């Protein structure tokens, strides 16, 4: 029987003290290892995955990702959300302390008749007021815990944006290099078919063959040429996509993309996948769901605290005098402290309904956390399967392509020598072109499966 780790929800979250008692009892069974991790070393992957794109040893890819992290509007917006959440948390923390306010006033009146000076009266006053809601039952503390958890959500969202951005750029970059490789092959095919078409035309003119053979060669040539514009379109649009993801205008990366090597990124084979529990701890989406669960539990406790009385203390220190010079005379000072205890008597079920709503929100957060964990496990297993199967398919296709290339060369030689017909040559060329395209696509699929594995393991942020 496969070993199982019983992992409580709170052990996956940094602020476990904030979860309500009923959630502390929730446990989830996690596999001790990955089902499809054969061939991958099992060690902590965190050190290897924070900048996983460097493992492809492609300076152009690394430069683009560094540029994107620095310039992306999405990353900047996520950073601004962190500042917003931190400010809201600090504002909520202020509710735990007394509030002070002060005022200064002056009043006076005077009367004056013609030829006589009238009487005048004036007074000055200064007041310092303090108020404090004593958090007897933890309502304000629970609200502060909810705000702190929301700050954690914002921080992990920032990490999630980084992780998603790096994987999206790497996939687009891989697709770009595949399209460029396919275009190079297609241009070589066009050159070869052009030579074949020319030779067929000469033979037709010499009366060695009929017009059908020349027409077949010409049709095959134009069919190959027709694929060039679509590949050029895909290349140009992918370059624009990379510029967009990097926070640059269209064409902003063209020089960089043209200066580097144009090979398909090749993934390293020594990736350490770790164990499921470690993966869940470092995935931003799982951490987000954990913080959301904490926030929901804190809001639920705050709603329950509304049922109980609240103690409010207020105090006043006043200074009143008939002249400014006597304002700070001890005899002009007065002070008072008022304590008030208030609690709900009848609210038509408002508090009870709020408690029910927050409890339901807490249950939703719990189920969302469970769903996120299960999705994380499934995504990682899918990526591991894809890495293995695409590698196996790549080995087979490389052998098939090498054989097709040899066959096409031999058919070309035999046709030029006049011992093979053009249909044999065209069929060999079509087979080679199809296999080379398949080979590029499988290489891309293998690279993308590794990118998805890096992302599934929680890489791309630090």
pTM score, two decimals?
0.82
Closest CA to 63 of 256, 266, 259: 256
| Range of the structural domain that residue 143 is part of | 4-97+138-307+357-456
Would 346 be classed as within a structural domain?
no
Give me the residue label for tokens 């009366």: 207
Would 147 be classed as within a structural domain?
yes
Task: Write the DSSP assignment of 20-40 as a string of letters.
Answer: -HHHHT-EEEEESS-TT-TTS
Helices (H), 138-251: 139-205, 211-245
Would 315 be classed as within a structural domain?
no
Q: What is the pLDDT of residues 98-135, one digit of tens each?
A: 877 767 766 665 555 555 454 555 666 667 777 777 77
Rounded to an integer, what distance in angstroms lies between the CA atom of residue 378 and that of residue 280? 12
Residue 362: which CATH number?
1.20.1600.10
Mean pLDDT along residues 131-150: 86
Which has more pLDDT, 271 or 327?
271
Phi-psi region of 336 (alpha: psi -120 to 50; beta: other; left: phi over 0): beta
Q: Which of 131-145, 282-296, 335-349, 406-420 has the lowest mean pLDDT?
A: 335-349
Residue 239 CA from chain centroid, whole number: 21
Q: What is the pLDDT of residues 163-176, one digit of tens each?
A: 999 999 999 999 99
Number of separate domains in the chain: 1
Would 406 be classed as within a structural domain?
yes
Residue 131 CA from chain centroid, whole number: 43
- The pLDDT, as a whole number, for residue 300 is 93
Would 76 be classed as within a structural domain?
yes
Would 179 be classed as within a structural domain?
yes
Average pLDDT, rounded, for the chain:
82
Would 324 be classed as within a structural domain?
no
Would 343 be classed as within a structural domain?
no
């Amino acid at each position: 029987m496969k070993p199982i780790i019983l992992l409580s929800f709170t052990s996956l979250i940094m602020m476990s003290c904030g979860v309500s008692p009923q959630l502390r009892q929730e446990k989830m069974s996690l596999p001790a290892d990955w089902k499809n991790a054969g061939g991958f070393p099992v060690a902590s992957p965190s050190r290897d995955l924070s900048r996983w794109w460097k493992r492809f040893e492609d300076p152009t890819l690394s430069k683009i990702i560094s540029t994107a992290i620095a310039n992306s509007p999405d990353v900047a917006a996520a950073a601004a959300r962190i500042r917003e959440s931190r400010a809201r948390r600090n504002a909520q923390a202020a509710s735990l302390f007394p509030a002070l306010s002060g005022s200064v006033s002056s009043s006076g009146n005077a009367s004056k008749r013609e030829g006589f000076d009238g009487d005048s009266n004036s007074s000055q006053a200064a007041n310092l007021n303090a108020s404090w809601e004593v958090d007897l039952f933890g309502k304000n503390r629970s609200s502060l815990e909810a705000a702190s958890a929301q700050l954690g959500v914002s921080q992990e969202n920032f990490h999630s944006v980084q992780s998603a951005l790096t994987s999206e750029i790497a996939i687009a970059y891989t697709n770009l290099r595949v399209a460029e490789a396919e275009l190079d092959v297609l241009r070589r095919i066009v050159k070869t078919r052009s030579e074949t078409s020319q030779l067929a035309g000469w033979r037709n003119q010499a009366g060695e063959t009929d017009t059908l053979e020349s027409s077949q060669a010409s049709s095959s040539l134009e069919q190959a040429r027709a694929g060039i514009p679509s590949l050029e379109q895909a290349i140009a649009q992918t370059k624009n996509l990379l510029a967009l993801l990097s926070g640059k205008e269209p064409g902003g990366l063209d020089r960089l993309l043209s200066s580097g090597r144009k090979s398909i990124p090749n993934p390293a084979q020594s990736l350490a996948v770790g164990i499921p529990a470690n993966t869940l701890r470092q995935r931003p989406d799982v951490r987000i769901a954990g913080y959301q669960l904490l926030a929901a539990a804190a809001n639920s406790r705050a709603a329950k605290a509304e049922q109980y009385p609240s103690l409010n203390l207020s105090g006043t220190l006043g200074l009143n005098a008939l002249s400014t010079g006597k304002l700070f005379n001890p005899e002009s000072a007065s002070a008072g402290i008022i304590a008030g205890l208030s609690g709900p008597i009848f609210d038509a079920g408002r508090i009870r309904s709020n408690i029910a709503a927050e409890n339901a929100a807490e249950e939703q957060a719990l189920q969302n956390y469970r769903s996120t964990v299960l999705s994380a496990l499934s995504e990682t297993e899918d990526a591991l399967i894809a890495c293995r199967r695409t590698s196996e398919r790549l080995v087979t296709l490389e052998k098939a392509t090498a054989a097709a290339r040899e066959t096409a060369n031999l058919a070309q030689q035999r046709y030029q020598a006049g011992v093979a017909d053009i249909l044999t040559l065209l069929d060999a060329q079509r087979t080679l072109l199809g296999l080379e395209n398949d080979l590029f696509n499988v290489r891309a699929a293998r690279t993308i499966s590794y990118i998805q594995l890096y992302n599934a393991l929680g890489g791309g942020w630090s």
